[in-house]
Structure 1
């Protein structure tokens, strides 16, 4: 019998438009969006399967909207608990901060508990819908190089054979210890928390109470979280001198659980792990044809559940831009707006998570005494209570530059913020969420008017080529009256009166929505054509059409 040395075996070579390194949630979401847009994608993952142990436990409304954009929200919902409150408790059990926002401006519950491996599995299963998407597990990245027209990845298989994957673009979603980021020598500045935490997941929840509680105990702070499918998570701070090996032993484990359970021996332990909380941000998110996303670009403490959700924001922001560049609809410079828009908000979420951690476990014991006294007084002030209840402290993404046209001279402009997603009524009578009508592309939405009025035929053709949806929103009582119909324009009834209310707070009546549902510009019908030309430049479209061509009249306006 003859054998072949692995290092002498033939090297397999292949090509793809986009290579994604890492089959975590960010990589899976990127692949789903790119897949539905027809982009060729190969996912490379060093593990032999998806990670099966629980990690993140909180998914917000923005992330569910991202799931909706790739047609997976309904499959994800059974693995969530909506309207999940977060309550901070003093050592004596007094609730000094109750975070339970009940608003749904983006179409979904704002705070939700979830089981990450089950949701990751939904996203992975969703990839089977796209023949242009493939995946390779058990692939170790040995090296990579970048050329003017692409990136070359050298991969090692479990058998020791080599694969060379040529990609036009590489998205590195390879975690906080990113090989790609470190190889590129991109600084990853920030801090590592001085204390570790042990996470304990238990089946058949021995408490059964809903929501999540953060007990600010100065001796040993802990977290108690109810999760879907009868799982309870406890998190305890690891004290100086303790090790993971020690805490795994029956005695110390029983002592920990006795802090929260009357019978710590009668539990069905799933697993326990020790985590270190980091707060770090990459100096750059893009180096030519390589882009960083998720934990490879930023990592943050878990206390506001924003690590996972920030990664989802990265994926949604980057995926539609990358699809446009790959498909030749926009120049590569559009990808620079990814860092412009996402990095500052990632920093804000890191700061919020660090602050929440300091509230839970103050650096000094007297800080906790001050906290308890101040919060007792502030809790009697209704504005303060609303501030916590409605999560107004959470910095929402607001982009002031990038793939948008800033509103000059307007205070509190909605440009650069996420548009609402109310329920709307179709002409056939069906009531749906707004995004179900728009799909994965742009939308030009007008209140009570034809959104194409004043646009040139070439402008309409240009936005059609981008898959743009033209929408006229009217009062719901008008939706069944056909006289306001315009060819190629979708009419929607304002079921909840939210869209009219939104426009009533603005000075403009037309809004252009990006595929990630952020407002790219606002206008009135008479200024829309000119602003669309500016947006074409901001998006770096390959063939922007000027707005000086003679505009159509109302009678002439028609979407081909």
Structure 2
């Protein structure tokens, strides 16, 4: 029997939420045979998440879906915190676009999910199976076997090389793996009310910090509005959704005299806020992603976005391993890179909730006074307005190369770096083997607009393609590449992008045949490289900086990248 006939798919993704849809799209783009299973006969048709950030939109851009979802978004969607008296004590209005998109966007999740699902029809190598629930699975050294129950009650078996559990906060896959889901469930509950034909029409998000009953008002696309009300310990969903109680709640948000029963309700549902993270995200041949790996309170709208960061990190790594370009070492970096940032986003969401919804009058008074004072201090005001409090992903270990690791001088430092990669405890004890706090390595690369030689103005990612890229300022590193590095670059499917001032993009001096020359339309790339030590950045498919070096050190950098991902230099990316 041919080895490939033993497997129905290279990857099975369980759960057709946004994370599962995004991962499956990435696998489709890379030509990986994938099956997407969803227990429901249809996608969920009511709003859940309401906020999408620029990182998420960049991920959708990478799978060719950003333009398709834009009609379902409201860009530049500000979040305003308001006291009981009506004073706005904090307004989050980030207007920067360093990653190519608006930093805060409201969106209609059911419609965006549908767009992502329809986008899978592009791929002959992707099979979507709705009404298919994973009953059980068992993994071995070669793959994973699953029993799947159709909605008609029949059961069949699948065999796959890898399994991704993106099956929600109550993930049966995580439970079957006996993976702990540590954290806490908040004692407070919230009634979420979504209505059609928005009765208010005002834009943005308003967080009303009324200690008698905190509430939220959110404008969404397509004339949908969300209200959220804190529910007290002695109240429950059935009681609070009765007409007289709904009238009492809606009186807080509607103009006087408006009848709450006249609204067109989409749903009314009570939620609890959880802050939990899985102890392990990779167990053998099974990976967890999205809500199956972490859940968090809604206060910063980061649950959806954090899940999409998982997809951006995991999807291409699975593809490279399935296709034999990299070894399983690459998938191990998913566990190293993603959980720390997910934990940081959980902590941010918990903190925001505590600021928003205290009920103790003394605490409320202290908060209101402190925020009044801070608004008088411009740096403090910018800290909130520009969303500088949001922790950006920063990978200190994993598929990142520190400056010490490309040191060519033999000796104790180089030996310890090699040992640190093989011994996690030693790596934690050796700061020199980790990426420094001020280094751009391990951070998301900027995405400004660039001008091509054909005169088109594009976002940088659209020039880099779906694989690795060497992005360089003013130089073509081909002059310095040895044959091993050329083989590595071919295996990575890497492109060389040489950035020049727009007025120089048609000059051929010192440019080889393999370099793609673009003009620095906004001069942001010149500023970026001028702020860091190095002129050649190795950019991963998820747009994180794997390493930065001067052209004369590019061979050492590429060798380290190849080693960390177990690169099969004899097999290039398709």
Is the TM-score greater than 0.5? yes
Aligned positions of 1:263-412 closer than 5 A: 263-265=258-260, 266-362=262-358, 364-408=360-404, 412=438
User: For structure 2, which runs of at least 5 residues remain unmatched after alignment?
Assistant: 1-5, 405-431
Partner of 2:514: 488
The superposition leaves residues 34-82 of structure 1 with CA deviations (integer Å, 9 ceiling, x where unpaired) of 1010001001111111111100000000000000000000011110000
How far apart, CA to CA, are the structure 2 residues paired with 1:502 and 1:99? 25
How far apart, CA to CA, are the structure 2 residues paired with 1:167 and 1:356? 41
Aligned positions of 1:238-249 closer than 5 A: 238-249=231-242
**Of residues 22, 26, 46 in structure 2, which corresponds to 1:29?**
22
Aligned positions of 1:469-508 closer than 5 A: 469-508=495-534
| Conservation of the 8 A alpha-carbon contact between 1:407 and 1:415 | no
Q: The residue matched to 1:395 in structure 2 has which SS?
A: coil
**Of residues 162, 175, 183 in structure 2, which corresponds to 1:182?**
175
**Of residues 548, 551, 560 in structure 2, which corresponds to 1:525?**
551
**Of residues 131, 134, 140 in structure 1, which corresponds to 2:124?**
131
How far apart, CA to CA, are the structure 1 residues paired with 2:57 and 2:290? 16
Per-residue deviation at 1:177?
0.3
How far apart, CA to CA, are the structure 2 residues paired with 1:247 and 1:437? 53
Per-residue deviation at 1:465?
2.8
How far apart, CA to CA, are the structure 2 residues paired with 1:88 and 1:275? 21
Partner of 2:491: 465
How far apart, CA to CA, are the structure 1 residues paired with 2:362 and 2:566? 54
Number of aligned residue pairs: give it. Answer: 533
Partner of 1:449: 475
Runs of 4+ in 1 over 4 A off after TM superposition: none
Aligned positions of 1:33-72 closer than 5 A: 33-72=26-65
| Conservation of the 8 A alpha-carbon contact between 2:480 and 2:554 | yes
How far apart, CA to CA, are the structure 1 residues paired with 2:570 and 2:445? 25
Per-residue deviation at 1:481?
3.0
Partner of 1:95: 88
Per-residue deviation at 1:364?
3.3
Instruction: Output the TM-score relative to the length of structure 1.
Output: 0.93
How far apart, CA to CA, are the structure 2 residues paired with 1:414 and 1:487? 29
How far apart, CA to CA, are the structure 1 residues paired with 2:109 and 2:441? 32
- TM-aligned CA distance change 1:100 to 1:434, over 3 Å: same
| Conservation of the 8 A alpha-carbon contact between 1:14 and 1:164 | no
How far apart, CA to CA, are the structure 2 residues paired with 1:163 and 1:209? 51
Higher mean C-alpha deviation, range 153-162 or range 99-108: 153-162
Partner of 2:539: 513
The superposition leaves residues 490-536 of structure 1 with CA deviations (integer Å, 9 ceiling, x where unpaired) of 00000000000001111211100000000000000111111111111
| Conservation of the 8 A alpha-carbon contact between 1:536 and 1:544 | no
Partner of 2:414: none
The superposition leaves residues 389-438 of structure 1 with CA deviations (integer Å, 9 ceiling, x where unpaired) of 11000000000000110234766110000000000000011100000111
| Conservation of the 8 A alpha-carbon contact between 2:7 and 2:161 | no
How far apart, CA to CA, are the structure 2 residues paired with 1:451 and 1:249? 69
Partner of 2:440: 414
Aligned positions of 1:423-442 closer than 5 A: 423-442=449-468
How far apart, CA to CA, are the structure 2 residues paired with 1:507 and 1:143? 51
| Conservation of the 8 A alpha-carbon contact between 1:213 and 1:223 | yes
**Of residues 73, 78, 81 in structure 1, which corresponds to 2:66?**
73
The superposition leaves residues 342-375 of structure 1 with CA deviations (integer Å, 9 ceiling, x where unpaired) of 0000000000000011011126332211101111
Per-residue deviation at 1:228?
0.8
The superposition leaves residues 220-257 of structure 1 with CA deviations (integer Å, 9 ceiling, x where unpaired) of 10000111111111100111221111122211111111
How far apart, CA to CA, are the structure 1 residues paired with 2:254 and 2:78? 21
The superposition leaves residues 159-196 of structure 1 with CA deviations (integer Å, 9 ceiling, x where unpaired) of 22111011100000011101011111111000101011
Per-residue deviation at 1:542?
2.5
**Of residues 10, 15, 26 in structure 2, which corresponds to 1:17?**
10
Q: Does 1:84 align with 2:80?
A: no
Per-residue deviation at 1:544?
8.3
How far apart, CA to CA, are the structure 2 residues paired with 1:309 and 1:195? 24
- TM-aligned CA distance change 1:377 to 1:544, over 3 Å: farther
Partner of 1:553: none
| Conservation of the 8 A alpha-carbon contact between 1:407 and 1:413 | no
Instruction: Output the TM-score relative to the length of structure 2.
Output: 0.91
| Conservation of the 8 A alpha-carbon contact between 1:45 and 1:137 | yes
Per-residue deviation at 1:219?
0.9
How far apart, CA to CA, are the structure 2 residues paired with 1:185 and 1:321? 24
Q: Does 1:220 align with 2:213?
A: yes
How far apart, CA to CA, are the structure 1 residues paired with 2:519 and 2:398? 32
- Superposition CA RMSD, Å: 1.4
| Conservation of the 8 A alpha-carbon contact between 1:451 and 1:471 | no
How far apart, CA to CA, are the structure 1 residues paired with 2:183 and 2:517? 49
Per-residue deviation at 1:98?
0.8
**Of residues 101, 104, 111 in structure 1, which corresponds to 2:97?**
104
Q: Does 1:146 align with 2:146?
A: no
How far apart, CA to CA, are the structure 2 residues paired with 1:380 and 1:173? 45
| Conservation of the 8 A alpha-carbon contact between 2:11 and 2:34 | yes
